[in-house]
């Protein structure tokens, strides 16, 4: 069993990393593998070429960054954790680049993400936490994923690198999210034999034209 996390911060060893390490501790203690991808600033936006969707490749045609590795890992994973700093009231640009391509390639056609466990966290100095947390959740709740929460919204405060550890409550929210995600992943795996997941099928896209 595995949970894959995407760290949308371009900053190495920053607050988002520290939050994910708090999650890692809980997830691994529960016997679930945890892998973090941090593409940094070297990540391209979606080209809207629709090659992935039209051809069902489950890959992006842009191959010179980490996104195809992230897509493959997410398809393989039991759970996906999206973690991003707040940038001007929303997710960081690199996170947006990853999510646009991941969701289009792996979620919008033959949905490979459905029934996977999802969770979200954001880090911030002061404002925009709720919007960013909801934005991260919003990408997953359109993919038929099973959203798991903590005991408060996933927003951990800190500006300079390392400051988030002073947000005791926020770090506890991250740790509890890790515990809850690991437990849900295990519970779903245990239930699979006796309770198979419900049938699902590709969306009928009507584009608001009728
Ligand atoms: C371009 C930029 C925009 C930011 N915008 C916000 C913001 O809107 N609200 C906020 O509270 N913090 C904002 N911050 C602060 C970061 O969210 C905060 O420092 C966060 O902890 C960074 O996480 P990291 O260390 O993982 O990179 C911004 C930082 C940068 C670099």
Q: Does residue 86's CB lie within 6 angstroms of at least one atom of ligand 1?
A: yes
Q: Looking at ligand 1, which residue's alpha carbon is closest to its atom 17?
A: 124
Q: Does residue 95's CB lie within 6 angstroms of at least one atom of ligand 1?
A: no
Longest Cα separation, the chain = 53
Q: What is the CATH number of domain 2-191?
A: 3.40.50.360
Confidence of residue 210 (pLDDT cuts 50, 70, 90): low
Per-residue pLDDT tens digits for 72-112 = 999 999 999 999 999 999 999 999 999 999 999 999 989 99
Q: Looking at ligand 1, which residue's alpha carbon is closest to its atom 25?
A: 14
Nearest-atom number in ligand 1 for the CA of 129 is 11
Cβ neighbours around 50 below 10 Å, total: 13
Q: Looking at ligand 1, which residue's alpha carbon is closest to its atom 9?
A: 127
Q: What is the pLDDT of residue 202?
A: 84
Q: Looking at ligand 1, which residue's alpha carbon is closest to its atom 1?
A: 87
Confidence of residue 200 (pLDDT cuts 50, 70, 90): confident
**d(CA 88, ligand 1 centre) in Å:** 7
Q: Does residue 8's CB lie within 6 angstroms of at least one atom of ligand 1?
A: no
To the question of pTM greater than 0.85 for the whole model, the response is yes
């Amino acid at each position: 069993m595995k949970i894959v996390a995407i760290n949308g911060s371009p900053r190495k060893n920053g607050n988002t990393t520290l939050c994910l390490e708090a999650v890692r501790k809980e997830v691994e203690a529960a016997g679930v593998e945890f892998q973090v991808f941090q593409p940094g600033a070297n990540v391209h936006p979606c080209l809207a070429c629709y090659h992935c969707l039209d051809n069902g490749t489950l890959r992006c045609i842009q191959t010179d960054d980490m996104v195809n590795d992230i897509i493959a890992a997410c398809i393989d994973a039991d759970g996906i954790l999206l973690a991003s700093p707040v940038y001007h009231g929303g997710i960081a640009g690199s996170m947006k680049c990853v999510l646009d391509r991941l969701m289009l390639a792996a979620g919008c056609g033959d949905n490979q993400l459905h029934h996977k466990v999802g969770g979200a966290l954001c880090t911030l100095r002061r404002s925009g936490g709720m919007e960013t947390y909801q934005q991260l959740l919003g990408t997953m709740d359109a993919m038929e994923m099973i959203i798991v929460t903590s005991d408060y919204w996933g927003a951990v405060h800190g500006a300079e690198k390392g400051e988030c550890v002073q947000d005791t409550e926020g770090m506890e929210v991250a740790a509890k999210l890790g515990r809850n995600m690991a437990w849900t992943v295990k519970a779903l795996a245990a239930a699979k034999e006796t309770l198979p997941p419900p049938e699902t099928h590709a969306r009928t896209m009507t584009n608001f034209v009728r």
